[in-house]
Chain A
Amino acid sequence: MHELSLAMSIVDMAQEEAQARNAKISAVHLKLGLLSGVVKEALLSCYGMACTGTPLEGSDLLIEEIPVEIFCERCRAPRVVSSTQWFSCPDCGTPSAAVVHGKELEVSALEIEE
């Protein structure tokens, strides 16, 4: 359960931006890869706690889940895997350990009111 410390990092980052721009943040957009090791529901419930008593209290955390994409050597193209339990090309079945997307844990945008 490391979601609370991650939620606190997200709040800190957003707060820094808010202060720098003298703006109020109404929502934080987050890209969350399915291989990030973070549970969406846990992060959402921790976010509320992490915001308490900060200028971000009442703001929303909007999570965009990023599927796992591998690079298929045979197809010479990136492919989204059908399951995180099977790292193989969904088209030709070739296994691949080259992960292109899915590890994201990134604040992508902030909704601000100036």
Chain B
Amino acid sequence: MSTPRLLEVRKNVLKQNDLVARALRDRFSAESVFVVSLVSSPGAGKTTFLEKILTLLHERCHVAALVGDLATENDAVRLARSQTPVKQITTGTLCHLEAAMVQTAMKGWNTGRLDFLFIENVGNLVCPSSYDLGENIRMVLMSVTEGEDKPLKYPTIFNSADVAVITKMDLAAAVEFDEGAAIANIEAVRPGMKIFKVSAKSGLGISDFMDHIAQRRAEAVSTQVETRS
């Protein structure tokens, strides 16, 4: 048998996903749609938070949502109560969304008039971190009931996010949530990340969050106009 020869290749394993994500990002950018993805563990309150945001945004601009779940269309039904267009991606047994699933769900969907599109990932703090979905910002949510050390247990996904949201703040006192420790832990794994403390139930922090994404959208749109001119 001949001696094996080492052949250098340098190929990104996620190249296919990254190419689709780039195509999506180009489409969203051309349409001036600002895309926010949401990741969290199951039960952190993604859907409740999103329902609140969609309902409020719907009053002032054009919004829509894509929601991924292993099974059932319950989340899409809940989000549709906000009167905004909602599409469900049922992943079967797959634990995360991939760019191609978003692309398929977007087919034939006229998103040209949208200001915001939210993509709710499958509840999972591990697998979604590797997959770019073409979003402008990735938002990671953790609830006060999960424990302050969540960011230290899942540093990869927290580090990959652009915004952190601490949910269910109305329960903070009841579960003796140590806010300082949670914030320090987020800061440790993703220095400088913007952090919001919210309660979809009481409305705490919701308007701050809405102002923030409106500002991020304005920045993204103005950068894009500059690039084009």
Do A and B interact?
yes
Q: Point out residues on A near B: beta carbons under 8 Å.
A: 1-2, 6, 9-10, 13, 17, 21, 26-27, 29-30, 35-38, 84-88, 95-97, 99, 105-114
CB distance A113 to B8 under 8 Å?
no
Give 10 pairs: A residue, B residue, CB < 8 Å, sorted on A. Answer: A36-B156, A37-B126, A37-B156, A86-B189, A95-B192, A97-B191, A105-B14, A109-B7, A110-B9, A113-B1
- Shortest Cβ-Cβ A-B pairs, 3 listed: A95-B191, A37-B129, A37-B130
A residues in contact with B4, CB < 8 Å: 26-27, 111-113
A residues in contact with B129, CB < 8 Å: 37
Q: Point out residues on B near A: beta carbons under 8 Å.
A: 1-2, 4-14, 16, 94-96, 126-127, 129-130, 152, 155-157, 159-160, 187-193
Q: How far is the CA of A2 from the CA of B122 in the complex (A)?
A: 13
Q: How far is the CA of A84 from the CA of B13 in the complex (A)?
A: 22
CB distance B188 to A86 under 8 Å?
yes
CB distance A87 to B188 under 8 Å?
yes
CB distance A88 to B191 under 8 Å?
yes
A residues in contact with B1, CB < 8 Å: 113
B residues in contact with A26, CB < 8 Å: 4
Chain B, interface SS category: mixed
Q: How far is the CA of A53 from the CA of B38 in the complex (A)?
A: 38
CB distance B190 to A97 under 8 Å?
yes
B residues in contact with A108, CB < 8 Å: 8-10
CB distance B10 to A106 under 8 Å?
yes
Q: How far is the CA of A84 from the CA of B152 in the complex (A)?
A: 8
B residues in contact with A109, CB < 8 Å: 6-9
B residues in contact with A10, CB < 8 Å: 13
CB distance B95 to A1 under 8 Å?
yes
CB distance B159 to A112 under 8 Å?
no
CB distance B5 to A112 under 8 Å?
yes
Q: How far is the CA of A17 from the CA of B6 in the complex (A)?
A: 13
Q: How far is the CA of A104 from the CA of B159 in the complex (A)?
A: 15
A residues in contact with B12, CB < 8 Å: 105-106
CB distance B10 to A87 under 8 Å?
no
Given contacts A37-B129, A97-B193, A105-B130, A84 and B156 within 8 Å (CB-CB)? yes
CB distance A36 to B11 under 8 Å?
no
Q: Taking the nearest CB of chain B, how far is it from the CB of A26, in angstroms?
A: 5
Q: How far is the CA of A85 from the CA of B13 in the complex (A)?
A: 25
Q: How far is the CA of A38 from the CA of B188 in the complex (A)?
A: 21
Q: How far is the CA of A29 from the CA of B5 in the complex (A)?
A: 12
A residues in contact with B187, CB < 8 Å: 95
CB distance B155 to A6 under 8 Å?
no
CB-contact partner of A37 in B9, B157, B191, under 8 A: B157
A residues in contact with B190, CB < 8 Å: 87, 97
Given contacts A2-B96, A37-B130, A37-B156, A13 and B191 within 8 Å (CB-CB)? no
